[in-house]
């Protein structure tokens, strides 16, 4: 390997700079902090030295070739975490990261619910397992005596919905995902459901942008996946293709990655697709349950109008409603866009490593559907803040009320409210006449350590058939939703 540029190029910095010029991430360029000196040093020192004959030094860095190859050098990495000799109880086993199959067009759009159906919604978690546990206790869907990292579902037929941003800012992101996935499987067996939405931080991580990741979170990915991949691959050269940019995290969260889940190309005898378990493929951009639509950032009418006849040649450059956005997100996250892997790390120069990592990031961002893309200030469903900013007050956008009314009308008949996370509030509250519910309370210690609260909706639970909307607190109170309305910029 040539050493002519090894000291001049610091790949993580180069990769981040190039990536943030992409269409979806351009606005993040001024916010992306450069990689730490430690990361630079770790990357540069990890490369095999220029002298290929220096076998002693080479072994201290990367193995020349895997000693026990269990995977084709260009294949996806996920089979390495489901090998026959792996302990299924180990946190790296992909069994722990599976959500039940999602029937797009049915499970994500349910305007008709049984009378009295209970729905509970929780906001951003951001890698804080303790905060997630308190959310679940307040929601009254788990056994209080069960362990925080392995809770038991007691919610019966309730529907639990988490509005995205499980990733970043905390050290237990995978722990939070394992809990949500476990509860989703338990809830399905009991007749309930657990739904997880995409947040903007899931989009960022899928595109290889990790500037908001907590060091402890990166260590968690290394412990759960990186070390196991090294062992089962019989070497660590698979890491080179990620250019020193958190290889375990990137390998897990990229499209077609470890946590994406496979496609549903297999069909039964009737020619119908067999839906499979998986995590990110069974997450949603938005969801309608009864008279309430749920999303991470917000929805506009333009997101919900079917534009199949607009003549667009690029299907990812439009929205077309809840189910089509969810379908586009699934198609994108399950496909490996960069082409074949280079698991052997067969690079001759540092420039080749840089180019490979840049290509990997660039094609993921370029192919990202609009419903997941954007950046700070963008109007996509995972980024917009038109209904939630400023916190604990009426939106500053003077057109917000009209926009929301048009959006709710476009979702469907008799849709009465939109529930969103994304923008931290001091308490769960509603604005715009009780039609915009903001439920991100900044509960993660990595955000502002807010007190968890849960939004509860009982479908047609009132005497006149109206929905009953309440806020549930960690001390066991149920607060009438009307008491959390913002009026004249005052939160009651």
pLDDT of residue 248: 97
pLDDT at 58: 42
pLDDT at 50 over 50: no
pLDDT in tens, 173-202: 999 999 999 999 999 999 999 999 999 999
The one-character DSSP state at 131 is H
Q: What is the 3-state secondary structure (H, E, C) of 214-263?
A: CHHHHHHHHHHHHHHHHHHHCCCHHHHHHCCCCHHHHHHHCCCCCCCCCC
pLDDT at position 436: 98
Encoded tokens for 462: 């009132």
Looking at residue 491, its pLDDT comes to 60
Decide: 421 and 434 in contact? Cβ < 8 Å: no
- The predicted-structure confidence for 294-332, as pLDDT tens digits, reads as follows 999 999 999 998 765 444 445 555 788 999 999 999 999
Question: CA 260, CA 299: separation in Å to the nearest integer?
Answer: 25
Percent of the chain exceeding pLDDT 70 equals: 79
Reported as a single tens digit per residue, the pLDDT across 73-100 is: 888 888 888 765 556 677 668 889 999 9
Which band of pLDDT confidence, cut at 50, 70 and 90, is reported for residue 382? very high
Instruction: For 242-256, write each residue's pLDDT tens digit.
Output: 999 999 999 999 999
Percent of the chain's residues with pLDDT above 90: 70
Mean pLDDT rounded to a whole number for the chain: 85
Mean pLDDT of 375-399: 95
Quick one: 311 exposed, middle or buried, by C-beta within 10 A (0-12, 13-18, 19+)? exposed
pLDDT tens-digit readout, 466-475? 999 999 999 9
Residue 36 confidence (pLDDT) above 50: no
Higher pLDDT, 82 or 12: 82
Q: Which two tokens stand for residue 383?
A: 């980024």
Q: Annotate 224-250 with b (16+ C-beta within 10 A) or e (fewer).
A: bbbebbbbbbbbbbbbbbbbbbbbbbb
b/e code 439-465 from CB counts within 10 Å (16+ = b)? bbbbbbbbbeebebbbbbbbbbbeeee
pLDDT at 477 over 50: yes
| pLDDT at res. 423 | 98
pLDDT at 480 (0 to 100): 98
Residue 41 has pLDDT above 80, yes or no: no
Q: 3-class SS at 415? A: coil
pLDDT band at residue 276, thresholds of 50, 70 and 90? confident
Q: pLDDT category, 7, cuts 50, 70, 90?
A: very low
pLDDT digits (tens, 9 = 90+) for 148-182: 999 999 999 999 999 999 999 999 999 999 999 99
What is the pLDDT confidence band of residue 490, given thresholds at 50, 70 and 90? low
* Its pTM surpasses 0.75: yes
- Range list of H helices, 305-349: 322-333
Give the pLDDT score at 268. 61
Q: Give dist(CA 82, CA 137) in Å, integer.
A: 32
pLDDT confidence of residue 87: 67
């Amino acid at each position: 390997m040539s050493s002519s540029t090894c000291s001049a190029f610091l790949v993580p910095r180069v990769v981040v700079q190039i990536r943030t010029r992409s269409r979806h991430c351009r606005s993040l360029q001024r916010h992306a902090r450069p990689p730490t000196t430690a990361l630079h040093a770790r990357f540069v020192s990890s490369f095999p030295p220029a002298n290929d004959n220096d076998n002693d030094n080479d072994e201290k860095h990367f193995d020349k070739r895997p000693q026990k190859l269990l995977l084709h050098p260009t294949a996806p990495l996920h089979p390495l975490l489901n090998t026959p000799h792996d302990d299924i109880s180990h946190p790296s086993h992909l069994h722990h990261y599976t959500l039940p199959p999602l029937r797009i067009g049915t499970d994500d759009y349910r305007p008709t619910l049984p009378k009295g159906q209970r729905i509970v919604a929780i906001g951003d978690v951001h890698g804080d397992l303790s905060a997630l546990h308190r959310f679940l206790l307040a929601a009254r869907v788990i056994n209080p005596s069960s362990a925080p990292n392995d809770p038991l579902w007691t919610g019966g037929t309730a529907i639990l919905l988490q509005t995205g941003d499980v990733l970043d800012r905390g050290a237990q992101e995978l722990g939070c995902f394992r809990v949500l996935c476990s509860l989703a499987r338990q809830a399905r067996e009991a007749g309930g459901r657990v739904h997880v939405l995409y947040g903007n931080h899931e989009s960022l991580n899928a595109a290889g942008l990790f500037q908001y990741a907590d060091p402890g979170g990166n260590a968690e990915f290394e412990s759960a996946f990186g070390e196991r991949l090294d062992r089962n691959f019989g070497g660590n050269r698979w890491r080179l293709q990620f250019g020193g940019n958190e290889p375990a995290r990137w390998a897990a969260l990229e499209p077609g990655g470890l946590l994406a889940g496979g496609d549903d190309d297999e069909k039964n005898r009737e020619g119908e697709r067999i839906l499979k378990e998986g995590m990110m493929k069974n997450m949603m951009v938005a969801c309608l349950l009864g008279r309430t639509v749920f999303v991470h950032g917000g929805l506009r009418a333009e997101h919900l109008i079917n534009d199949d006849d607009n003549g667009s040649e690029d299907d990812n450059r439009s929205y077309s409603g809840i189910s089509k956005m969810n379908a586009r997100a699934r198609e994108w996250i399950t496909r490996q866009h960069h082409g074949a892997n280079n698991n052997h790390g067969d690079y001759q120069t540092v420039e080749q490593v840089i180019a490979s990592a840049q290509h990997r990031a660039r094609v993921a961002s370029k192919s990202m559907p609009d419903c997941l893309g954007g950046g700070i200030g963008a109007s996509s469903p995972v980024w917009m803040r038109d209904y939630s900013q400023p916190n604990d007050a009426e939106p500053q956008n003077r057109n917000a009320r009209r926009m929301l009314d048009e959006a709710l009308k476009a979702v469907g008949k008799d849709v009465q409210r939109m529930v969103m996370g994304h923008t931290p509030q001091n308490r769960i509250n509603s604005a715009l006449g009780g039609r915009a519910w903001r439920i991100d309370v900044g509960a993660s210690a990595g955000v502002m350590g807010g007190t968890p609260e849960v939004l509860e909706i009982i479908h047609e639970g009132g005497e006149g058939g109206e929905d009953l909307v309440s806020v549930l607190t960690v001390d066991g109170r149920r607060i009438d939703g009307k008491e959390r309305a913002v009026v004249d910029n005052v939160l009651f």
